Structure 1
């Protein structure tokens, strides 16, 4: 559960997903054909940003097009920005070798910005470092992720980029959450919240309030306090919910209501929990978020299971199962089959209990295989990255050697030219002296 929570938090932080502004996208697409090449790149990058998190395939397409156009323009910062946008899109999709491709594009962007200390280049570099921090986070390299995030934060502080600073504080909170240091995570989230409130970034405020509530909840659940006070957590969730309702962000509304339901259920307030879950379902239906629907139906089933109302629990597990199957949410399916098996057993229906247990075992094996594959892919990515690093270092070394050879060649050539010039000068001076002597001798003879 904690791991799933961290992933959710992380995705919010990396990409602050905003409601898709179709009119803005249409406007950008309309002005694209008649724009100058540099402006076309900028417009394509804006389209990439608008679609990020909503239509990843189109986002990647626009970033690739921007990269192709930027390669024909003599502007390294613009080219670096195109690489960064493409990396962001790969990171958002995170399929097959996407993380590796994201890393390569971030690295190429960083190389383009190397030795460029202009404000424009350093601001672009801050974004690249944030992206690389996200890559290392996904690889589980939290120390490296933290160092890169800190380096990005320093650049954002240098240029008084408050919004960028808030994103870095958010990422720091995510990393501390992953490390289990919930107390420090709350400190970092609070810093981010203060900035977002100052900037009046309402969607980001709602997201950070959710993060704060979830982190505080984890902190209390892992503490030795026998009677934890959840009032602050409830306040954070309610504040987040109010903002999301004002923004009509149904996905965020559904998520926060579901979290409030889980919290109420943990306190055995089943009536309140049921109300939250039912409202969460309404919002999940509006935004057509199948995994959220499946999760909320499963939570309702768990609630009835705790109340020992077995038939109602089975009814909601059936709904959860149907939607989770449509969404191909294997983790949710595994949990539903495993938990429903126990409900059948409580009812004395051991045949169905056994059938569900077998299904959950099959899914558990598939999930373990997927996890092993993910680990192998990560290791492969890291291996490919190390190879890529070595290739880059080799190219750099060859470039240094070539530069040194050129310096030696031109130094030697310069020396030869200098000697030739000196020799020519002396030859010229000697010729002049000879001429003068000849003229003097002729004068004496006459």
Structure 2
């Protein structure tokens, strides 16, 4: 193999044979991994029932696919989550949430991944599963790191590291130390990064953790590359590569070969750079890593350009473009699948809520029926006792007739009192209904105020951003400009309006439907304005909620008056408030 590599540097045919050999070897390793996955899938088909064993197999499959194919991994973990929820299987549900978090991190869906990891963390805390609490915290740190929330990421990493050390889980501690070093490297704090990478390497040797060693070596190689100590970077990359070959770490081997190619490129040794990049390309082909192929083709194009081989550079650039387009299409497919899964999850949650509401109604009806049965039984018993009493009194003698009449009168009074009680119960139910309506009005008012305060806060935030943008620094200005655009867009999202509309129609049933029926050409913004006028909002409050200026509200009110065919003497607010009765 050494001779083959030496020969490949001068002979293009031998270089091709070397790449082909690497591709065949890696294909065999991938095939071994596929055998494990196929075995799990066969076991899954043999366990179709929604049982605990099926959840475990689904979660294991998801774990196998975590980094290789996160979309496929998420599919398995969501099925595991659905079954676990039906079974109330807390352990299966916790791992499924953790898997969803990791796969969304791998896909770049950080918000959704963070939400899933928080669910997993809460479940593991309920089960007092200390090890998996730490695992979930370390995964959470990864997402915060990708979002550049470095303080939050470091807090989660350190807490996880503390637990791993207490449990003497050295291999997990090594991974966490490497992540902390990568966090500092992102912040350009090379001294701190180097310190944690060395700790990870030392602990890896102590625990004989091969993956930890290779990761630490790889991280140190990147560190030395960043500080322009290229010879040291090359030494550590080769150390990482040696372990990765021995442990069949295909992902790590691909990355190390790519890193060595970059180092030779920086050293202006373009022949060696091309050789290692081609070997990295063969590895990337074997593990189907389009992201790595994209980066490698781009760097090969740069190498060919430096060598003056513009035809080869053009071919590499075309390969780079093809892979990039393929990745873009895959990203769109992943986003579609993610949204589809999110929709199914929300749909399932809505069904569960509906079932809970139906169960609550059935329970209430059952209690009411029970009360009625008890009342009826008491009435029947009372009637039997009264009848017996009357019958026995009649048999005594006629002289007790007056007493019997008196008793009958008492019975009549008791029935009248029962009627009065029933009327009072009806009155109490009416009062309870009025109280519910009043509570809904208070809730709607509270929601409206929160709605208004939110938009006012957004306006203040926009003003603050405008002030900061006046500060020097083009990069800061661009970032704050993007943040300002995001805030402006967030004020236009219809979700707040849909939530407000739902609360509003719980109090004023079919208000919008009937208003639209009477005035078919009324617009959605005019419907919003009608709702705010129904709540007797002033210009400033309405402007804050609708996210426009008070002058724009005045203009909208003028157009609304014309559409409602009101004269100057008609009061628009009073008309809208009384309109509900008129429509009904």
> Normalised by the size of structure 2, how large is the TM-score?
0.54
Q: CA deviation at 1:398?
A: 2.4
> Which shows bigger deviation, 246-255 or 298-307?
246-255
**Unaligned ranges ≥5, structure 1:** 1-51, 71-78, 114-120, 221-227, 441-446
1:386 pairs with 2:386: no
Q: CA RMSD in A?
A: 3.7
1:187 is aligned, of 118, 137, 155, to: 155
What residue number does 2:365 align with?
405
Post-superposition Cα deviations, 1:196-226, rounded to whole Å, max 9, x if no partner, equal: 2122111111111111111111122xxxxxx
Pair 1:88-2:59 in alignment = yes
Aligned to 1:256: 216
* CA contact 1:260–1:276 (8 Å) conserved in 2: yes
Structure 1 residues 288 and 217: CA distance shift in structure 2, 3 A: same
What is the distance in 1 between the residues matched to 2:196 and 2:221? 14
In the other structure, the counterpart of 1:239 is 199
Matches within 5 A, 1:33-432: 55=36, 68=49, 70=51, 85=56, 88-89=59-60, 91-92=62-63, 93=65, 98-100=73-75, 102-103=77-78, 105-106=80-81, 109-110=84-85, 113=88, 130=98, 142=110, 146=114, 149=117, 161-220=129-188, 228=189, 230-430=190-390
Answer yes or no: is the 8 Å Cα contact 2:94–2:120 preserved in 1: yes
3-state DSSP class of the match of 2:268? coil
Q: Do the aligned residues in 2 keep the contact of 1:139 with 1:378 (CA within 8 Å)?
A: no
Q: Which has the larger radius of gyration?
A: 2
Contact 1:324–1:333, Cα closer than 8 Å, also in 2: yes
Q: 104-113 or 405-414, which moves further after superposition?
A: 104-113
Deviation, structure 1 residue 147:
5.9
Q: 1:346 to 1:324 in 2, by over 3 A?
A: same
SS at match of 2:187: helix
Contact 1:261 1:272 (C-alpha < 8 Å) held by counterparts: yes
For 2:291 and 2:107, the matched residues in 1 are separated by 20
- Deviation of 1:54 after TM superposition, in Å, equals 11
Rounded Cα–Cα distance in structure 2 between residues aligned with 1:244 and 1:374: 36
C-alpha distance 363-147 of structure 1, shift in aligned 2 (>3 A) = closer
Q: Equivalents in 1 of 2:250, 2:107: separation in Å?
A: 27
Structure 2 unmatched ranges of 5 or more: 1-32, 401-584
**Shift in CA distance, 387/184, structure 1 to aligned 2, threshold 3 Å:** closer
CA distance in 1, matches of 2:148, 2:366: 54
The question of whether the paired residues in 2 share the 8 Å contact of 1:250 and 1:286 is answered with: no
Higher relative contact order (CA 8 A, sep 6+): 1
Do 2:77 and 2:97's aligned partners in 1 also have CA atoms closer than 8 Å? no
Partner of 2:484: none
Match of 1:31 in 2: none
- Are the counterparts in 2 of residues 83 and 106 from structure 1 also a CA contact under 8 Å? no
**Equivalents in 1 of 2:117, 2:262: separation in Å?**
39
**Residues of 2 paired with 1:421 and 1:137: CA distance?**
69
Q: In 1, distance between residues paired with 2:235 and 2:381?
A: 95
CA distance in 2, matches of 1:141, 1:358: 29
CA distance in structure 2 between the aligned counterparts of 1:177 and 1:54, rounded to whole angstroms: 34
The DSSP-based 3-state class of the residue aligned with 1:419 is helix
1:106-128 Cα offsets, whole Å, 9 max, x none, are 35535655xxxxxxx98887667
Secondary structure of 2:81's counterpart equals helix
